[in-house]
Structure 1
Amino acid sequence: MIYSCLFSLVLIGIACFILILLISYGSLTSLFVKRTAKRIDDLPYNFNSSFKSRGGILYIDVENGMIGFISAYNPLKIQVFNASRIANAKTVASAMTGVRFFFYLDGKKITMMTLLTNKIVSTKSGIGAEAVSKADAFVELLNAAKSQAEGRIS
């Protein structure tokens, strides 16, 4: 009887600990991403455009054709790669699912949300149009960086 009560308390304690970890994961991840982002200026590139999203932070150096990325799934590392490795940069705008842009890096899809809400938002006016414009601007920057990188390779 005492052992079953003790076992139940241990299980409740473990469940509470896991719940606390899940709740704090989002804030811990963003702290690690912010700390890693402070090191971006130490790199020999001119990342003059950046975009922060739930998935991480994207940095673009159009002049040198380089892309930097700090992923929320790997927040301790700055990933830097040649923009010639990206493909199919596109904007997706939906009143139901939000506005985002995405691109493929060596076949892996990277998505950056510019508008994510729990309400239906028109993509033709106000905040929706602004989010579409921002996504389109970053798609253009990605394509410009890719063109610059491919020009340097040729």
Structure 2
Amino acid sequence: MSRRIALSVVAGVVVLGGAGAFALAYAGDQKPSPALAHSTVRYTAPEGGHKGSLSFTTEVTAPSGVKNLKVLAWPEKSGFATEPLTAKDMAEVESATCTPAGGNTVRCVYKAAVSDADAAGSAHGAWHIAVLATAKDGHTTLDTKAADFTLA
């Protein structure tokens, strides 16, 4: 191998090595967004004069800790099917109650009573649960279909 080719190869290795180190350093500075796990929803229709209920449970993990979890149930046959929900849409919805579950993980539960009037006035069919998880460092995760249920 000629000396000029050898120098070019060494220079290329140095440049690529430096770029790789920069990429790793940059990736190390990035804080992961909150992660959702074990999400479940349970809907019970009102019956016989008794209220029904909607209950959503999930675990949220964030390295900096979890600040809050916003929850919204929405019907599949709504405007959100064509214009997807955004974090801004979720800003004013209700929050779940979160309790420590070990480490940087919390278990969040959202419960709502469902009256006969609520059920009668709601769209029947598929519904989704949207959640916005916010970490203490400000990172967010929006999952517009964290869980699904059917309103019959």
Higher relative contact order at CA 8 Å, sep ≥6: structure 1 or structure 2?
2
> Larger % of helix: which?
1
> Larger % of strand: which?
2
The normalised TM-score by structure 1 is: 0.30
